Amino acid sequence: MAANKPSRPLYEVFLERVIRIDAVQGYRAAVIDDHTAQFFAEGSRPGVFGDFQWSLDAPEAFPWGPIAPAEPTPVSPAMQRAWDAAVAAFAEFIAALVKGELIASGRHLASGVRCDLDPAEWTRTGLILDVHDGDLIQVRHGKHTVLWGSITLRPGNPERKLGTVDWDDWWKHEVTRRKQGLLPNKKAYLGEAEPQIKERYGVTTVPPSELRRIKAALYRDDSERPKRPNRKQPKGKG
């Protein structure tokens, strides 16, 4: 049996997949723009105000900083092509996290618990990824809130088989939510969980008895998923 691959800092994987690729580095020698060396070497956004915070919606090159210039300096064609290649690679990098090809683990800032991120975390709106520190940040009404910190990555399962509920997967998902204090009140659980399971696993019905067992174990604070009890075999006639 092959050993599990260890987790790596998000920054290492980002550089490997987004910056240190031929599609980006191939333009390095031709770029004459100021404040671009750190982009090619370390993955910060190019420009005098460049940092390591990449927007998941639309990463911006050459950020203006606190005061926008009246006439922004034009970007050279080589730098623009390098940036476009990096943005495309960054989109693929995030898609791998959404699809489960990469599994992220981080510290949930609200609870302090370190656990795996649900792939859906990467589909929120207004997200920024600090690729250097491995922090996932959400921006709402101008306020920056770190949702997850010190993120590491490891290879995952590219695709989940649809059409069948993976109860082990669901149990891990719900235990993570329990640690984060995100479970609904006990009475509302079944009504909220059923549509989520249908969407997550591509099923049209959810076995109610199994879901009730999961619910009971979650709110008892059990550490292991409950198993279906064995049916008693009828006694043979002697």
Q: Give tens-digit pLDDT for 53-84.
A: 999 988 887 765 545 455 667 889 999 999 99
Task: Indicate the pTM of the whole model.
Answer: 0.67
Q: Give tens-digit pLDDT for 184-213.
A: 899 999 998 998 888 888 888 999 999 999
d(CA 137, CA 19): 21
Domain boundaries, the chain: 8-64+76-155, 167-219
Q: Give tens-digit pLDDT for 19-59.
A: 999 999 999 999 998 889 999 999 999 887 889 999 998 88
State the pLDDT at residue 2: 42
- Tell me, what amino acid is at 11? Y
Residue 139's SS3 state is: strand
Residue 3 CA, distance from chain mean position: 23
